[in-house]
Amino acid sequence: MQVVCLDLEGVLVPEIWIEFSRRTGIVELARTTRDEPDYDKLMRFRIDLLARHGLKLADIQAVIEGMGPMAGAREFLDALRARFQVLILSDTFYEFADPLMRQLGRPTLLCHRLETDAQGFVTRHVLRMPNPKKAAVEALKSLNFTVIAAGDSYNDTAMLGAADAGFFIHPPESIVAQFPQFPVTRSYEQLAARIDEASKRLP
């Protein structure tokens, strides 16, 4: 009984905040968990920047509507789902993710929520729980599932460590150097092969 858990941004879809930064010209919004491992701190920084520049949730959603999955992501995900139960464990927000989930065939997504005021400005990020990716993996293991996980960034390392097998997919070299225990893959083909290998050796 095996489950595959995947991160979303940087793994199956482009980084939303990087794309929004590019569209708005606000360089500071390009910071991600590859740059700042404290996600709570990163989100407070982002929300403050949005307020200072007069940008609303609808402005971000408009950019997301024009985005799509990474090349090959839908095919990779479809092939995985034909063989495994697959969960997307992400630090994105439900208010962001719907257009991208639609294009990915609506896999199950566990993430967070945003709160907005009457004018549509983001006022607060509401984390589902502390360290939710690791908690989800541990919960699945407590239900006697074997978990294989893949991600690309700092905020995925606890998930990868908790899984029965954990892999990086196209991570930056700075993160690879800090977490050499996780095998690195650079394409969906390489990751699929690693998952297949793990599946054969794990119960």
Is domain 2-13+71-92+128-201 in CATH 3.40.50.1000, yes or no?
Answer: yes
DSSP character string of the chain: -EEEEE--BTTTB--HHHHHHHHHT-GGGG--TTT-S-HHHHHHHHHHHHHHTT--HHHHHHHHHT--PPTTHHHHHHHHHTTSEEEEEEEEEHHHHHHHHHHTT--EEEEEEEEE-TTS-EEEEE-SSSSHHHHHHHHHHHTT-EEEEEE-SGGGHHHHHHSSEEEEES--HHHHHH-TTSPEE-SHHHHHHHHHHHHHH--
Low-confidence stretches of the chain (pLDDT beneath 70): none
Domain edges within the chain: 2-13+71-92+128-201
Provide the pLDDT for residue 45.
95
Residue-level pLDDT at 39: 85
pTM exceeds cut of 0.75: yes
Q: What was the pLDDT predicted at 102?
A: 94
Annotated catalytic residues are 7, 9
